[in-house]
């Protein structure tokens, strides 16, 4: 089945011919990348998608809900009972599920490789949205140095290189990682906990209140399992001082029964795309009254405008 697609409104470093969706779709479909696509996959970081009148598929790596007045289908982290929506948490796009299967782990050897106490990797700070993770960093730092390796509050001489791969490599030397999401919303689970799991660095996690649907909460320190923050910090100190108790967490599988959760199923995800590509609909962009589509198409063709 031949499918004409395009991408827009992602981060500046996004590559159209090397990304999660393009690589996945090529496994089943004859994908043609073109600037007048039948299907547009777009993100939340710009407005170029408004130039398109074909079927629009929204992917939101952040926590916001899809607007079905703008898109025909959506892939987000939310739990929505809508056939146009498919739950795809961001962490799924960050690597193979086998990278966090523990069947062949040697917990004792992993513990011996830990040379740092705890990591905090944050690129920015919002005083209203992210204050809790910054406060937690400062509180835990009163016990022992926490290595801040992101752009914000950096104390290791500069931010980590190498994007996600560099972060995972750094976390391999750390016993703990402060893995706090930007918000606590059902289903909203990003790369933060997944990268710590890849590094076998015990996550200290705050965020998705339904994360137990995806992961075994006995394999990490789940903020909401503790009656107060002081109790969580006391637990971290206890595990830091008692290798046997720390290893109890290291031996717990991240996945329930150590088997990848359903969100990693390529067959299931490709089946959803198969339905999208084979279903004949009138795109929402062509149903919105009063929108000057012809003018937008002319702008795109003649001026190559980007937002």
pTM of the model: 0.91
Q: Which residue do the tokens 């320190």 mark?
A: 221
Least Cα distance to 189 among 178, 205, 201, 176 occurs for 205
Chain segment 56-105, per-residue pLDDT in tens: 999 999 999 999 999 999 999 999 999 999 999 999 999 999 999 999 99
Name all contacts of 108-111 with Cβ < 8 Å and 24+ positions apart: 108/247, 110/200, 110/250, 111/175, 111/243, 111/246, 111/247, 111/250
Q: Do residues 215 and 147 share a domain?
A: yes
Q: Which CATH number does the domain housing residue 33 bear?
A: 3.40.50.11650
Token pair for 209: 């209140």
Q: Do residues 241 and 284 share a domain?
A: no
Q: Do residues 141 and 57 share a domain?
A: no
Instruction: Give the 3-state DSSP-derived string for the chain, with helices as H, strands as E and coil as C.
Output: CEEEEEEECCCCCCCCCCCHHHHHHCCCCEEEECCCCCEEEECCCCCHHHHCCCEEEEECCCCCCCCCCCCCEEEECCCCCCCCEEECCHHHHHCCHHHHCCCCCCHHHHHHCCCEEEEECCCCCCCCCCHHHHHHHHHHHCCCCEEECCCCCCCCCCCCCCHHHHHHHHHCCEEEEEEECCCCCCCCCCHHHHHHHHCCCEEEEECCCCHHHCCCHHHCEEHHHCCCHHHHHHHHHHHHHCHHHHHHHHHCCCCHHHCCCHHHCHHHHHHHHHHHHHCCCCCHHHHCCCCCHHHHHHHHHHHCCCC
Q: Do residues 51 and 124 share a domain?
A: no
Q: Do residues 253 and 111 share a domain?
A: yes
Q: Do residues 86 and 131 share a domain?
A: no
- Segments of the chain with pLDDT less than 50: 290-307
Q: Do residues 125 and 10 share a domain?
A: no
**269 Cβ contact partners less than 8 Å away, ≥ 6 residues apart:** 24, 86, 88
Q: How many domains does the chain have?
A: 2
Q: Do residues 82 and 24 share a domain?
A: yes
pLDDT of residue 288: 66
Q: Do residues 196 and 126 share a domain?
A: yes
Q: Do residues 73 and 217 share a domain?
A: no
Q: Do residues 120 and 47 share a domain?
A: no
Domain that holds residue 18: 2-93+263-303
Q: Which CATH number does the domain housing residue 192 bear?
A: 3.40.50.11660
pLDDT of residue 3: 98
pLDDT of residue 103: 96
Taking each helix axis from N to C end, the angle separating 229-241 and 131-141, rounded to the nearest 10 degrees, works out to: 40
pLDDT of residue 289: 55
Q: Do residues 226 and 126 share a domain?
A: yes
To 5 degrees, how large is the angle CA 60–CA 91–CA 164? 105
Q: How many CB atoms lie within 10 A of CB 4?
A: 17
């Amino acid at each position: 089945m031949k499918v004409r697609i395009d991408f827009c409104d992602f981060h500046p470093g996004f590559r159209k011919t090397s990304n999660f969706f393009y690589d996945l779709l090529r496994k089943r479909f004859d994908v043609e990348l073109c600037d007048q696509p039948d299907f547009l996959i777009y993100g939340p970081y710009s407005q170029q998608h408004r130039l398109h009148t074909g079927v629009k598929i929204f992917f939101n790596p952040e926590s916001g809900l899809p607007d079905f007045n703008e898109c025909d289908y959506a892939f987000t982290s939310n739990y929505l009972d809508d056939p146009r929506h498919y739950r795809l948490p961001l962490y799924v796009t960050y690597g193979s599920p086998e990278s966090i299967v523990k069947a062949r782990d040697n917990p004792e050897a992993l513990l011996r490789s830990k040379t740092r106490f705890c990591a905090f990797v944050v690129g920015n700070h919002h005083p209203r949205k992210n204050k809790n993770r910054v406060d937690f960093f400062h509180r835990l730092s009163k016990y022992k140095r926490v290595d801040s390796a992101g752009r914000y509050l950096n104390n290791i001489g500069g931010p980590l290189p190498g994007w996600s791969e560099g972060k995972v490599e750094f976390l391999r030397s750390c016993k703990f990682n402060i893995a706090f999401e930007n918000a606590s919303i059902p289903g909203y689970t990003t790369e933060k906990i997944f990268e710590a799991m890849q590094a076998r660095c015990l996550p200290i996690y705050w965020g998705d209140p339904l994360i137990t649907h995806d992961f075994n909460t006995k394999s990490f320190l789940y903020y909401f399992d503790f009656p107060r923050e002081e109790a969580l910090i006391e637990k971290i100190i206890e595990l830091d001082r008692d290798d046997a108790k720390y290893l109890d967490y290291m031996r717990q599988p991240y996945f329930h029964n150590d088997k990848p959760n359903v969100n990693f199923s390529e067959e299931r995800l490709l089946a959803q795309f198969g339905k999208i590509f084979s279903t004949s609909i009138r795109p929402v962009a062509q149903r919105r009254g009063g929108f000057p589509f012809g003018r937008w198409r002319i702008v795109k063709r003649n001026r190559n405008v980007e937002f």
